[in-house]
Structure 1
Amino acid sequence: MEKKSRTLAFTMTTTFESLPVELIAEILSELDLASLIEVSYLSRRLRFIASDSSLNPWRRPIIRNLYNLDYENCLKHLSVRTIVPRQNWIEVLSLATPSFLLFDATLPNLRAVEWEECFRRRFLPGWTKWKKDSSWREAFLKVLHRVWHRSHTSCTTDESWTKYVVLNRNGSANELEGSSRSFNPLVIFNEMKLQSNLAHLETRVRLVVEFPDVRIIALGVLNRPKTQFTVNANARAFLHPPGIEAVDNILTGSSDGNDSVESDNNTQPPNTLPDRLYFPVNQTSQAGYDRLTYPLPSHSYRDYPFYTPGGSDKRWMGSGALEEEGMQWVGGLMLTTQIIGSHTRETIADGPPLQEMDIVTGAGRNQYASFSWQDLLVIAPWMQERVSKIIYGPGLGN
């Protein structure tokens, strides 16, 4: 009986290894990391397939770990295994949590150009100011530690002034700054409302896009204006890129033709997502937009600026030029960067998640970083043609 079992196992292994290498790599990519490590050492052919950077069966199990935020123990020291192609660590360094990279993982030896790629895919472009004369590896780890430190403490010694951008209703934009020690977007925006005679209206908050370490939020006011003179057309254009609609994007997606029809309340589990959701690439849609890759959005905003199904992307809360209940954005729209901490994503039990005050009130929502005009042009490049004037500092720029 034992002899028959060994013969059967040998036959099955021989049959499996006789398959085309592309099919074997596809099968291996469905394994978890621990199993893939074991299988890759069973034979020379399997080792060759596993170590081939063009086949790369490690991609899917690694990304499943990163998107599920439930890391297998073997991921910590995966970089010491020469059988794993180095390109996978660009994704790990771009998407993994700061605490995992700083305190748990064994980091790989990458070239300077690869560390630069990791930096630009993870952080806002305005954060390159921290590089100065250091190497890209040093800059990446230094900024990553700053983010982790600020997400766990109220320390602001590394950034005394926090920048933010205001889109004005006259078409211009101001890049302003406030003291980081007392920076509170609600307080600042309430002062803006008072100056614009809008203090009687409710403050509305929108989560625009989320990255591994930070998320961009917008504060504005909705109203039914009697005239169009108070309407902020750029606020609507920033939150809802012209030519993109939530329903249309679910049905048609981008031009790669790999999207399936999904509803707003159902998200495919990470292990069944198509490859384009694992590694977003710049693909031009019919509306003339590119999917954002630098920096790389988190999984819940993977299709930004297009609509991302799953329930987290709540930018579209109306139709046409109107928001919910037929209202419009009036006055200025304030844009700032919120640092993501361990409690930031927790929702208020008795309120709607990921919208309005739930975004800026509660534990883990009181740390902010600079958001500059440069950052705005990266996450919303279509605004460059819509903004008539950029003003650095307060005033009208006269």
Structure 2
Amino acid sequence: MSTFESLPVELIADILGELDLTSLVLVAYLSRRLKDIASDPSLNPWRRPILRALRAPTSVDNEAEYEPVLRQLSVRQIVPRHNWVEILSLGKPEYLLFEMTLPNLKETEWEECFRRRFLPGWVKWKTTSWKAAFLKILHRTWHRSHSSCTADEGWTKYILLNRNGSANLLEASSRSYGPMAVFHEIKLQNNLAHLPTHVRLVVEFRDVRIIALGVLSKPRSSFSVNQNARAFLHPPGVTKGEDEGASSSARSISEGSDESFAPPAADPGLPGRGPATPFMLRDAYRPLIHPLPSSCHANYPLYTSGGEDKRWMGNGEMEENGRQWVGPMLITAQLVGPQTKQQPADIFLPLQDLDLIAGPGRNQYASLTWEDLTAVAPWLELTNMINGAGLGH
């Protein structure tokens, strides 16, 4: 022990960070020096064990299998307070609401938790303190993901990207809202009813994920091609192959980092400028922090390896089989519940298509606003942002 404690404090903290939470709690009380190192906010050996615990696999009934020591971690003074921003941003709603002992945090820390976990448009529900707003919205999202209740939000807003570069913010009754039915009516109005609907998962957050519905076809002319639909799914200059170096660099800014998301200063993939290098992409795009994506999209808007980031289904300007996005694209926010990512055994649908919206746990949606679209895709260049139907004249 004396030899171990004679090591530099940075090295000791790094070693402690490899322990699980239960072992780290025990080791932190073995001596005064270890306690001081574990309590130092600048060294913070707790961060990696906490993140590993939050990403623990789920049980058969999809309930969290977190380490038991996490439940009462807030009562231990040796754990720096800012670790709770990570826990409250990434923890399962039912665990935070009904099992965990919550800490006393500053109002600014509760605000940071709110902005990292929820969409920017949900700030409208804040009436008193940030703590009250966080717990209220957390309970609402948990309740709506487990039931068909629409009492809290009678109307669901969604965004329609038009092929002329404009976008409409529309709404439908939450009780009867279904993006497939809504988009079918849109296809009828645009003479696209004979073409199948394709669904793409854009980015997933802790309690909600953004999905897009559109039509893929081989158009006879460029008039019907929706350039904003392509740009929304594929940030300019970013591809699955070219940005892998940038993604590995971006992973050094891990979940919970204080680095903010910066929109591109220049379009790295414009014609005439040549292909974008990983270094250009790393400088142009920063991983999204407010809100904080799930681990499957941790490097968003860059590509996140692991198999769940499937935004790239083709090469260059084309999607699979050389098709392009034509007509309008509908963008909506789907609440993530216990069954949302479970594939029913009796339903066989193409991956990254109708299985995103068909089946149990996929029929609850939340409103998506202009603020949310700007946060998710700040590089989009809309010619007009229209509230309601029409052309905006």
Match 1:229 to one of 223, 229, 237: 223
> Per-residue displacement from partner, 1:159-217 (whole Å, max 9, x unpaired)?
00000000000110000000001010000000000110000000000000000000000
Q: From 177, 200, 204, give the equivalent of 2:171.
A: 177
Report the counterpart of residue 87 of structure 1 in structure 2. 82
Kindly report the root-mean-square deviation, in angstroms, between the aligned alpha carbons of the 2 structures. 1.4
Paired position in structure 2 for 1:253? 246
Give, in whole Å, the separation in 2 of the partners of 1:290 and 1:85.
27
What is the deviation of 1:68?
2.1
The two structures have a TM-score, normalised by structure 1, of 0.89
2:314 aligned to 285, 310, 318, which one?
318
Cα contact 1:312–1:354 (8 A) shared by 2: no
Residues 216-365 of structure 1 correspond to what in structure 2 (within 5 A)?
216-250=210-244, 252-253=245-246, 258=249, 276-280=253-257, 281-282=259-260, 286-287=280-281, 288-349=284-345, 351=348, 355-365=352-362
Alpha-carbon offset, residue 392 of structure 1: 0.2
- Compare CA radii of gyration and give the structure with the larger one: 1
3-state DSSP class of the match of 1:246? coil
Alignment TM-score, normalising by the size of structure 2: 0.91
Separation in 1, partners of 2:212, 2:132: 32
Q: Aligned in 2, Cα 1:370/1:223: closer, same or farther, shift over 3 Å?
A: same
1: CA distance between counterparts of 2:334 and 2:350?
16
Q: Is the partner of 2:214 in helix, strand or coil?
A: strand
Deviations for 1:283-332, whole angstroms, at most 9, x for unmatched residues? 76623222100000000000000000011011011111100000000010
The reply on whether 1:113 has 2:90 as its aligned counterpart is no
Distance in 2 (alpha carbons) for counterparts of 1:365 and 1:178: 17
Q: Which amino acid aligns with 2:355?
A: D
Q: Distance in 2 between matches of 1:21 and 1:114?
A: 27
2:71 corresponding residue in structure 1: 76
CA displacement at 1:100 relative to structure 2: 0.6
Selected match of 1:59 from 47, 59, 82? 47
Moved more, 146-155 or 287-296: 287-296
Q: How much has 1:277 moved relative to structure 2?
A: 2.9
Aligned to 1:25: 13
* Conserved 8 A contact 1:352-1:358: yes
For 1:51, give the aligned amino acid: S
In the aligned structure 2, how far is the partner of 1:354 from the partner of 1:90?
34
Percent identity among equivalent residues?
60
Match for 2:150 among 156, 162, 174? 156
Distance 2:385 2:353 in 1: 27
2:13 maps to amino acid: A
Identify the match of residue 49 of structure 1 among 37, 40, 51. Answer: 37
SS class of match (2:144): helix
Residue 199 of structure 1 aligns with which residue?
193
Residue 126 of structure 2 is aligned to residue 126 of structure 1: no
Structure-2 separation of matches of 1:184 and 1:394: 18
Q: Any idea what SS the aligned residue of 2:98 has?
A: helix
The answer for unaligned runs of 5 or more in structure 1 is: 1-12, 260-273
- CA distance in 2 between counterparts of 1:156 and 1:39 reads 48
1:211-234 CA distance string (max 9 Å, x none): 000000000000001111111010
Equivalent position amino acid for 1:162 in 2: T
Q: Does structure 2 retain, via aligned residues, the 8 Å contact 1:232–1:331?
A: yes
Give a deviation string over 1:109-141, Cα, whole Å, max 9, x none.
000000000000000000000002x10000000
Which residue identity lines up with residue 277 of structure 1 in the other structure? S
- After superposition, the Cα gap between the structure-2 partners of 1:88 and 1:354, relative to the gap in structure 1 and judged at 3 Å, is farther
Task: Write out per-residue CA displacement over residues 16-48 of structure 1, whole angstroms, 9 at most, x where no aligned residue.
Answer: 001110000011000010000000000000000
For 1:179 and 1:92, locate their aligned partners in 2 and report how far apart those are by CA, in whole Å.
34
